[in-house]
């Protein structure tokens, strides 16, 4: 897993307290994909619900509309999901330090 600068920033923003509400859905999806996850639409009648699968974990998140910016509730859910998957901003930093050594 190699996070680019934008993905590292997105990961850090997801863990900021108080919760931010300026994270774009596309940035979150890009982060999940680079972490090895899959984002799927739940079916014809699912509306804006998307399944997020990362390792053995699954979550159901709402894609924001009409604007592409995630609301605080979605950011909180995304953060909780990443924590459950043992993904934190520190993890990305520690991997970089190991590679530099």
Kindly report, residue by residue over 9-50, the tens digit of the pLDDT: 999 999 999 999 999 999 999 999 999 999 998 777 677 889
pLDDT at 97: 52
Asked whether 2 and 96 are in contact (CB, 8 A), the reply is: no
Residue 63 to residues 11, 47, 57, 78, 91, Cα–Cα distance (Å): 18, 9, 19, 11, 26
pLDDT at 2: 86
From CA 101, how far away is CA 92, in angstroms rounded? 15
Mean pLDDT, the chain, integer: 88
Task: Tell whether the model's pLDDT for residue 76 goes beyond 70.
Answer: yes
Grade residue 100 by pLDDT with cuts at 50, 70 and 90.
low
């Amino acid at each position: 897993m190699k996070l680019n600068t934008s993905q590292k920033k997105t990961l850090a923003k997801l863990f900021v307290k108080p919760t931010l509400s300026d994270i774009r859905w596309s940035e979150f999806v890009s982060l999940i994909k680079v972490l090895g996850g899959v984002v799927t639409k739940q079916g014809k009648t699912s509306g804006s619900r998307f399944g997020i699968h990362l390792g053995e974990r699954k979550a159901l998140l709402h894609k924001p509309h009409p604007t592409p910016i995630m609301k605080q509730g979605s950011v909180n859910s995304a953060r909780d999901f990443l924590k459950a998957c043992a993904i934190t901003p520190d993890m990305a930093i520690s991997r970089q330090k190991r590679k530099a050594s």
